[in-house]
Chains A and B, each alone.
Chain A
């Protein structure tokens, strides 16, 4: 039996950002959402590399938007999480919860 696929750390963060943003999820908003919540500077290249990888795996789908002047006449690509992607998030969340259950991490190594 093939083992179920878990999301990598950054994949997990990106999918959660997509779920939060719903139909407003594209490169800029995803990057800003991650920076706002994780307080870590993320490059747009990293976001797209992860989104492309997850689209190949079938976890996300995308559609092209219209070109806009504030983007120098370029289009944006909107992303949304598929049912397969939601299942992968749930699987990863459960695995993490199961691994951290019973551990009191706060203050342990500080």
Chain B
């Protein structure tokens, strides 16, 4: 029986992530190598083993590429991350100001209280997600070729700050669940930074965005 291992496709999400984190030059080689070894492994040890191997390799490669970005271009990558952090501080109050300006302009509080309540709570949360998305895009634009490394790092920094804030809040004010209510929004903010990076990365090399054959 003749086997045709190349007909088996690697996990699409893992392949897509590797593609996002690699530069256009690296993507062809790294994804080709991963595809080839995955096909060999899937045909000899089974699809599940092959998929597990692919995911392990993908995560290790992504981790390596993030560190490599800081090793090869430490100043520009760090500057992009620090710039993103400062930009976020600069525009932190914009969503609230904009939303309340519109609500007051149209006197929403007096005529449509439910709408007012929605925009004054959920609307602000959504506004912040968009502001983080904007920051992610700007950071990625500044860190050309290392878009995902820079935005992932910024997201991890915010993640660490949120974790620390949560710990302090829970220690100092046990029983108050306000911060837990905020947590999904905070996680969405972190995700938005990385999505911003992915958008810029995809716009820069549309031909290499999707894994071929996937």
Using CB atoms and an 8 Å cutoff, list the residues of chain A in contact with chain B: 26-28, 31-32, 41, 43-46, 48-49, 67-77
Contacts and interface: CB of A to CB of B under 8 A. Distances in A.
Contact of B62 (A28, A45, A71, A75): A45
Interface in B3-58: 5-6, 22, 26, 28-37, 39-40, 56-57
A49 B37 CA distance: 19
Contacts of A67: 32
- Which range holds the interface residue count of chain B? 20 to 34
A44 B39 contact: no
Interface string B111-128: 000000000000000000
A43 B29 contact: no
27 contacts: A26-B33, A27-B29, A31-B33, A43-B57, A43-B60, A44-B33, A44-B57, A45-B61, A45-B65, A45-B68, A46-B60, A46-B61, A48-B30, A49-B68, A70-B5, A70-B36, A70-B39, A71-B6, A71-B36, A72-B31, A72-B32, A72-B35, A73-B212, A73-B213, A74-B32, A75-B28, A76-B29
Nearest to B61: A45
A74 B68 contact: no
Interface of B: 5-6, 22, 26, 28-37, 39-40, 56-57, 60-65, 68, 211-213
For the complex of A and B, 8 pairs with smallest distance between CB atoms: A74-B32, A45-B61, A43-B60, A27-B33, A71-B32, A45-B64, A70-B6, A72-B35
